[in-house]
């Protein structure tokens, strides 16, 4: 290298090394003081993008865990209220059992007053916890927790959002008196002025009834041996025994009849016989070969007439289709979640040639809905007549008939287009224990209520477990995400301390070297002095 005083190459080289060392020292100091490896995006652009995504996911998941804990608190409140209702049902069953005994010699009015106060308290508690019919929490709840992925592993899709949510369906878990079945569907005689006498009830060999309902659409015949009864109470007992015997016969229709828990009771005035069910809509007619006794008890003289019906129901007129006739029925209702649901039944003369086929098509369409409409059923209470009865337990429903041909008759006689038929509420009221007969019905209703409450508690308990699992998973994911972000973003302070020591030594050495490099041109002056 030539000796020069204009350009100190060595000094420039030392300066560049000092600049690099200074930058390293500054970066190391930033990392040590901030604790981060990535202080600015230039430090590791790709790593920063990944770390930011992890940090954002942690923010979502942290709030999601709080959401799940809030949901868990809500369900615990609901569970506590249901526990109180369980205790109330125990008290109600005690009172009903006491009143149902013929040996009871006290005042049933007092028992019934306490019983009704218990039922009201059930309604109050259910409303307080939001689990009354249509209540705040008596619906399908979605608790978003986060941390979900779709089938392909993506996190920013609808599938990931769905996977990160916990669904708890409480829409069928209301626990007020109505939802628990503490109301009765009651069918009374068609003639309000008709009074049953022992002579009228004692037909030749007994009384034949036919009972229709969900699961026993074709009807089950009940043969009550009332001829030997010595009192109206005896007639009632004979009818109830016959209903029980019919329900014990092997078969799906008789099993459904048994599940309906239909009970005959003597009316409060002692002149009529009522039929009640705590959990099912039903219809009663005299049997195909009606007896005078059945006509007397039911207050009708028309064989197979619809004489008594309990629950939500409506009767559609039926007449055979004319050639090429078609009709469309839309059956709709507001379900337990407050949503409008409906199904359409398209009837055609080419295939639906009899009332039985029409009923079958209606029932198939209702069952296929897989929602509250599936609880409706079409029955034939006047075999060979002009009626199709649609009944159910889920509340009021509407039938809308739209015709495709002007000559149409079908299930709505006359075939008027845009015809609405609303279901009407049957004679229904709160269960009571004012007499032994009603108390026996209450005992059955309360047994159903306990079962319904248990089913609701099971759904709430399952929801609590789901949310607990979600919280546990969320906390685990938070820890793993924080560790992953730390490995990318955080500084290794032990290494940075070593780098800082190295930078300090290099700086000191560089400054010393720069002093030497700056003094090197002065040596050339010795040549000039010569």
* pLDDT the model gives residue 463: 93
Flag the least confident range among 75-84, 364-373, 377-386: 377-386
The total of other beta-carbon atoms located within 10 Å of residue 436's CB is 18
Task: List pLDDT tens digits, range 142-177.
Answer: 888 888 777 777 767 777 777 778 889 888 888 988
Flag the least confident range among 122-126, 245-249, 492-496: 492-496
Residue that wins the pLDDT comparison between 412 and 145: 145
With a cut of 90, say whether residue 454 has pLDDT above it: yes
* pLDDT the model gives residue 414: 46
With a cut of 90, say whether residue 127 has pLDDT above it: yes
With a cut of 90, say whether residue 87 has pLDDT above it: yes
Tell me the range of 269-273, 349-353, 415-419 where mean pLDDT is highest. Answer: 349-353
Tell me the range of 206-215, 280-289, 332-341, 486-495 where mean pLDDT is highest. Answer: 486-495
User: How much is the pTM?
Assistant: 0.63
Backbone angles phi, psi at 166, to 5 degrees: -105, 120
- When pLDDT is cut at 50, 70 and 90, the band that residue 113 belongs to is very high
The total of other beta-carbon atoms located within 10 Å of residue 19's CB is 11
Q: Partners of 377 in the beta sheet?
A: 391
* pLDDT the model gives residue 181: 78
With a cut of 70, say whether residue 80 has pLDDT above it: yes
Nearest-angstrom CA–CA distance, 500 and 494: 10
With a cut of 50, say whether residue 129 has pLDDT above it: yes
Q: Partners of 223 in the beta sheet?
A: 208
CA nearest neighbour of 427 among 81, 132, 189, 129: 189
Which two three-digit tokens encode residue 146? 């986060």
Task: List pLDDT tens digits, range 205-250.
Answer: 677 788 888 788 878 888 888 777 777 788 888 888 889 999 999 8
- When pLDDT is cut at 50, 70 and 90, the band that residue 403 belongs to is low
Flag the least confident range among 203-212, 276-285, 415-424: 415-424
* pLDDT the model gives residue 33: 82
With a cut of 90, say whether residue 125 has pLDDT above it: yes
Q: How large is the average pLDDT for residues 371-398?
A: 76
* pLDDT the model gives residue 84: 96
What percent of the chain has pLDDT above 70?
A: 79
Contact 170, 79 (CB under 8 A): no
With a cut of 70, say whether residue 280 has pLDDT above it: yes
* pLDDT the model gives residue 289: 53
Task: List pLDDT tens digits, range 292-308.
Answer: 555 556 655 444 444 44
Overall residue count recorded for the chain in this entry: 530
* pLDDT the model gives residue 413: 47
Burial of residue 384 (CB within 10 Å: 0-12, 13-18, 19+) is exposed
- When pLDDT is cut at 50, 70 and 90, the band that residue 200 belongs to is low
Tell me the range of 160-169, 271-280, 459-468 where mean pLDDT is highest. Answer: 459-468
Nearest-angstrom CA–CA distance, 343 and 528: 113
Task: List pLDDT tens digits, range 17-47.
Answer: 888 888 888 888 888 888 888 888 888 888 8
Distance between first and last Cα of the chain: 22
Count the helix, strand and coil residues of the chain and give each as a percent rounded to the nearest 5.
50, 20, 30
Nearest-angstrom CA–CA distance, 85 and 169: 20
* pLDDT the model gives residue 316: 74
* pLDDT the model gives residue 199: 63
Q: State how far the alpha carbon of 363 is from the alpha carbons of 367, 373, 392, 423, in Å.
A: 6, 10, 12, 17
* pLDDT the model gives residue 48: 84
Flag the least confident range among 52-56, 254-258, 411-415: 411-415
Average pLDDT over the chain, rounded to whole? 79
Nearest-angstrom CA–CA distance, 172 and 154: 34
Residue that wins the pLDDT comparison between 235 and 76: 76
With a cut of 80, say whether residue 385 has pLDDT above it: no
């Amino acid at each position: 290298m030539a000796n020069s005083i204009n350009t100190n190459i060595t000094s420039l080289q030392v300066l560049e090394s000092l600049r690099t060392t200074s930058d390293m020292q500054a970066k190391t100091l930033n990392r040590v003081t901030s604790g981060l490896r990535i202080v600015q995006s230039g430090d590791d652009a790709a790593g920063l993008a990944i770390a930011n995504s992890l940090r954002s996911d942690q923010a979502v998941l942290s709030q999601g865990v709080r959401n799940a804990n809030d949901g868990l608190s809500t369900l615990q409140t609901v569970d506590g209220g249901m526990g109180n209702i369980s205790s109330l049902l125990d008290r109600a069953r005690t009172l009903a059992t006491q009143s149902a005994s013929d040996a009871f010699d006290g005042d049933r009015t007092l028992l019934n007053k306490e019983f009704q106060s218990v039922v009201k308290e059930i309604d109050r508690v259910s409303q307080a916890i939001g689990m009354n019919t249509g209540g705040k929490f008596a619906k399908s709840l979605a608790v978003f927790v986060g941390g979900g992925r779709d089938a392909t592993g993506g996190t920013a899709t609808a599938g990931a959002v769905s996977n990160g949510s916990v669904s708890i369906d409480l829409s069928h878990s209301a626990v007020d008196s109505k939802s628990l079945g503490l109301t009765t569907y009651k069918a009374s005689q068609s003639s309000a002025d008709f009074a049953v006498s022992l002579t009228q009830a004692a037909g030749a060999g007994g009384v034949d009834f036919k009972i229709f309902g969900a699961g026993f659409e074709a009807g089950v015949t009940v043969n009550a041996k009332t001829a030997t009864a010595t009192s109206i109470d005896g007639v009632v007992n004979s009818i109830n025994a016959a209903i029980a015997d019919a329900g014990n016969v092997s078969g799906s229709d008789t099993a459904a009849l048994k599940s309906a828990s239909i009970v005959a009771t003597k009316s409060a005035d002692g002149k009529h016989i009522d039929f009640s069910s705590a959990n099912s809509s039903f219809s009663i007619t005299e049997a195909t070969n009606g007896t005078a006794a059945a006509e007397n008890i039911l207050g009708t003289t028309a064989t197979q007439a619809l004489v008594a019906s309990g629950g939500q129901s409506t009767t559609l007129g039926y007449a055979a289709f004319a050639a090429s006739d078609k009709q469309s029925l839309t059956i709709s209702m507001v379900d337990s979640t407050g949503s409008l649901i409906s199904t359409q039944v398209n009837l055609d003369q080419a295939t639906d040639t009899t009332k039985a086929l029409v009923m079958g098509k209606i029932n198939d369409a209702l069952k296929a809905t897989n929602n509250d409409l599936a609880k409706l059923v079409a029955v034939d209470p006047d075999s060979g007549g002009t009626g199709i009865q649609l009944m159910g337990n889920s509340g009021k429903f509407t039938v809308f008939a739209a015709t495709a041909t002007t000559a149409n008759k079908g299930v709505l006689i006359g075939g008027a287009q845009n015809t609405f038929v609303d279901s009407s509420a049957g004679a229904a009221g709160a269960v009571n224990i004012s007499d032994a007969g009603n108390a026996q019905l209450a005992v059955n209703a309360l047994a159903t209520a306990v079962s319904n409450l248990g089913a609701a508690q099971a759904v709430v308990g399952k929801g609590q477990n789901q949310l607990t699992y979600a919280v546990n998973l969320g906390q685990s994911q938070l820890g793993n995400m924080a560790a992953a972000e730390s490995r990318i973003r955080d500084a290794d302070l032990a290494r940075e301390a070593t780098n800082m020591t190295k930078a300090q030594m290099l700086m000191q050495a560089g400054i010393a070297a720069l002093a030497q490099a700056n003094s090197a041109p002065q040596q050339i002056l010795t040549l000039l002095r010569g």
